[in-house]
Amino acid sequence: MTKLTVLGTGYLGATHAACMAELGHEVLGVDIDEGKIAKLQEGQVPFFEPELEEVLQRNIKAGRLRFSTSYREAAEWGTAHFLCVGTPQKRGEYAADLRYVESVIDELAPHITEPAVIYGKSTVPVGTAARLGARARALSPAGAQLEVAWNPEFLREGFAVGDTLHPDRLVVGIDPQRPGRAEELSREIYATAIAAQTPFLVTDLATAELVKVAANAFLATKISFINAMAELCEAADADVTVLADAIGHDARIGRRFLNAGLGFGGGCLPKDIRAFMARAGELQAHQALTFLREVDNVNMRRRTRMVELTRETFDGSLIGTRLAVLGAAFKPDSDDVRDSPALNVAGQLQLQGANVTVYDPQAMDNARVLFPTLEYATSLTEACEGADAVLVLTEWQQFRDLDPADLAELVRGTRVLDGRNCLDAQRWTAAGWTYRGLGRY
Ligand code: UGA
């Protein structure tokens, strides 16, 4: 079993650290945030992710997992270091902000004296790994014995543990000019998945970096494609949910990621397609990704359309209306509100004069920080009491399971707006509600 470190303990790092320990490795998780490290060391996950807390606690107890704020300790502990810090969008620009990845290299490399490999997992612009490699070698007493490889991560929030323990593929990018131990060591670390026949692809650094952004760009494009079809359906009185089912039966197209609605948000897809466009521009290849600008536009238009649809429901004015917004997280089974379509819509509705009360099963605390001026209810019932309309903007199972007849007793107006096309329109209509979805009549 390998002694390894995980640098950065956010969604990606905390999950990777716990899951690597679950596979039997001896893991040290490192972060500069002392509060986060103290929580993790006590077995508490600072965010909502199903199953993660059990895995974390089990492995701390077993002595395979611990946390620290010291890079010196990290350098002394492991021969494999997984770089898992964030690469957010730069303020006022499309490009990714690489200051956190660079600072990990700057903090760690000077302490590395023995041969070691740093595996980057963060999503970065193509070319970053080669640059970080040169930087690490220059800073480390180990010099050329310190390798930088790229091992992109494809986990989804809400399924992070399952996706890490049973990935659908593993990709390791290695500097072809400097073949070292990176491939061999990664095969040891991922031996369980490799034994389970998980495809294991060894590439050069640039290809590995591109695989990650290409995958996210494809997913974003698929969502915006169906949302563009939703616009057409709205114009032509057709139903995008039926259309998605019908084209999804073609195995070449597939039904997954073809749910029309409010579109994509979160900490990955929106900023990744923008950073990808910015990088293409730097490489004089901007034409290749011009379509992503349209993908972004279609996506943002869905939020505006949702606000319009709500206004239409009230004959053109939202002033004085009471609206219950169900959902604040960018998707269900997560408490992440980064670039959340639901909160964005809630904020716009409020600006147009509506009294908006938000409820989410997990994301209330994060939502309050990001949108402090919205009102928040402590329960679904409280949010819906006396509402003139109920808007479902994140498709939590709890909202899908709502009984329209019961809910009708609570509200003042039986209008439901389904921003995720996740409710059974017929059932709601039969219970006396006015139902409106996106891309449906
Ligand atoms: C995404 C990718 O799916 C992961 O493979 C990747 O590892 C991750 O980004 C990352 O780069 O770290 P995630 O951000 O967790 O994962 O969320 P997704 O499940 O991809 O959903 C993104 C958004 O698209 C959500 O707002 C969701 O509501 C929306 N979506 C998804 C749709 O609007 N329609 C769909 O059919 C599917």
Q: How far apart are CA 172 and CA 80, in angstroms?
A: 13
Residue 270, both tokens: 């929106």
Q: How remote is the CA of residue 259 from the centroid of ligand 1, in Å?
A: 11
3-198 and 301-437: identical CATH topology: yes
Task: State yes or no: is 384 an active-site residue.
Answer: no
Tell the residue nearest (CA) to atom 18 of ligand 1.
156
Q: How remote is the CA of residue 269 from the centroid of ligand 1, in Å?
A: 7
Q: Which residues contact 294 (CB under 8 A, 6 or more apart)?
A: 224
Give the per-residue pLDDT at 6.
98
Residue to mutate (ligand 1; options 164, 243, 331, 337; most atoms within 8 A of CB):
331
Closest among 370, 368, 351, 350 to 359, alpha carbons compared: 368
Q: What is the pLDDT of residues 135-181, one digit of tens each?
A: 999 999 999 999 999 999 999 999 999 999 999 999 999 998 898 99
Q: What is the pLDDT of residues 82-127, one digit of tens each?
A: 999 999 999 999 999 999 999 999 999 999 999 999 999 999 999 9
Q: How remote is the CA of residue 123 from the centroid of ligand 1, in Å?
A: 14
Give the per-residue pLDDT at 179.
85
Tell the residue nearest (CA) to atom 35 of ligand 1.
257
Atom number of ligand 1 nearest to Cα 212: 11
Closest among 279, 13, 252, 4 to 118, alpha carbons compared: 4
Q: Which residues of 347-360 are buried (b: 16+ CB within 10 A; e: fewer)?
A: bbbbeeebbbbbbb
Tell the residue nearest (CA) to atom 31 of ligand 1.
257
In this prediction the pTM is 0.96
Q: Which residues contact 61 (CB under 8 A, 6 or more apart)?
A: none
For the segment(s) 301-437, the CATH number from 3.40.50.720, 3.40.50.300, 3.30.1360.30, 3.40.718.10 is 3.40.50.720
Q: How far apart are CA 229 and CA 241, in angstroms?
A: 10
Those residues of the chain that have pLDDT short of 70 are none
Give the per-residue pLDDT at 58.
98
- Active-site residue identified among 84, 268, 384, 422: 268
Q: Residues with Cβ within 6 A of ligand 1?
A: 123, 153-157, 216, 219, 223, 257-259, 261, 263-266, 268-269, 330-331
The conformational region for residue 127 under phi > 0 = left, psi -120 to 50 = alpha, else beta, is left
What topology does CATH give the domain 3-198?
Answer: Rossmann fold (3.40.50)
DSSP 269-299: HHHHHHHHHHHHHHTT-GGGGHHHHHHHHHH
Closest among 258, 236, 263, 260 to 248, alpha carbons compared: 258
Rounded to the nearest 10 degrees, what angle do helices 205-236 and 290-313 cross at? 40
Closest among 370, 228, 234 to 296, alpha carbons compared: 228
Q: How far apart are CA 172 and CA 204, in angstroms?
A: 8
Architecture of domain 213-296: Orthogonal Bundle (1.10)
- Percent of the chain scoring above 90 in pLDDT: 99
Residue-range domain boundaries for the chain:
3-198, 213-296, 301-437
